[in-house]
Amino acid sequence: MDEASLIQAAQRGDVAAFNELVLAYQNQVYNLAYRIMGDGDSAADATQEAFISAYRHLVHFRGGSFKAWLLRIVTNACYDELRRQKRHPASSLEALYVVDEAPDDPGLIAAPAENPETYAQRRELWRFIEAGLSTLPPDQRITLVLSDIEGLSYEEIAEITSANLGTVKSRLSRARAKLRDFLMAQGELLPAHYRLHGEGDGAAQQVVRK
């Protein structure tokens, strides 16, 4: 059964058909939630909420890109979760700055066939990137994840985040600049071949790959 037929069946209340869609998109949805939330538990909660919400509101889906519609829902679910964490900062600080070591740690899942030292360095780099992402304001983080990790266009991001194009561009440029500056500030902690070297008065730096 193709996606359109599955959607129609799910709109009529066929849970089995909807579960087919869940299986098709759950990795993508969870990945987005994980990059936005920064930890596995919150991402799983947001993903589950997103699929439940999608099922309940599926009757309002009027065609177009189902993936974009789904990503919009999970983005909103993440917004809600982030707002909840903001109201309860004690429970969110840990999630913000402690890199998840759970089994869904991408480093563990994507264990490559490279030598252990290189692999450990790569994992260290990913942890810095994730830590840098978590320092961004939610709007900027979501925009950067949608653009530079999910690869969506400005227009798609504008639709998903309910913002205009100018706002999307502005958020994206600020997010990139902040993440770049964060990584440059952490440069000395990075493995040597990922280290950021200062140039001139320090305002201009570059990533030097050996």
Partner 1 sequence: MRWLERRRREHDDELLSAYIDGQLLGRARQEFEARLAREPELRARLEATRRMLGLVRSLPPVPAPRNFLLDPAKYGRPAHVRQAARWYPTLRLATTLATALLILVFAADLILSQALTPTFRAAAPAAAPQVATAGQGARQKTDAVEATVPPTPAEFSAPAPTAHPMLAAQPTPPSGEADQLPSAAAGEQAPEGALAVTPAPATRLGPAAAGAATDGLETGQPPTPGPTEPAPTPTAEAPAATPMPAEVGQAPPQAPLPAPGEPSQESAPAYTPEGPPQAPLPSSLLRAIEIGLAVLVILLVGATILAWRAT
In the chain, the DSSP E strands lie at: 196-199, 204-207
137 near partner 1 (CB under 8 A) = no
The residue range among 64-72, 77-85, 86-94, 178-186 that interacts with partner 1, by the rule CB under 8 A, is: 178-186
- Residue 111 gets the label, from left (phi > 0), alpha (psi -120 to 50) or beta, of beta
Phi, psi angle pair for 204, to nearest 5°: -105, 125
- Position among 63, 89, 103, 116 found at the interface with partner 1 (CB under 8 A): 103
3-state secondary structure of 152: coil
Number of chain residues interacting with partner 1 (CB under 8 A): 61
145 touches 133 (CB < 8 A): yes
Sequence-ordered list of residues with C-beta below 8 angstroms from that of 19, at least 6 positions apart, any chain: none
Binding mask 182-201 for partner 1 (x = CB under 8 A): -xx---------x-x--xx-
Q: Which residues bind partner 1 (CB under 8 A)?
A: 12-16, 18-19, 22-23, 26-27, 29-31, 34-35, 40, 43-44, 47-48, 51-52, 55, 59, 102-104, 106-107, 109-110, 125-126, 129-130, 144, 148-149, 154, 169-170, 172-174, 176-177, 179-180, 183-184, 194, 196, 199-200, 203-207, 209
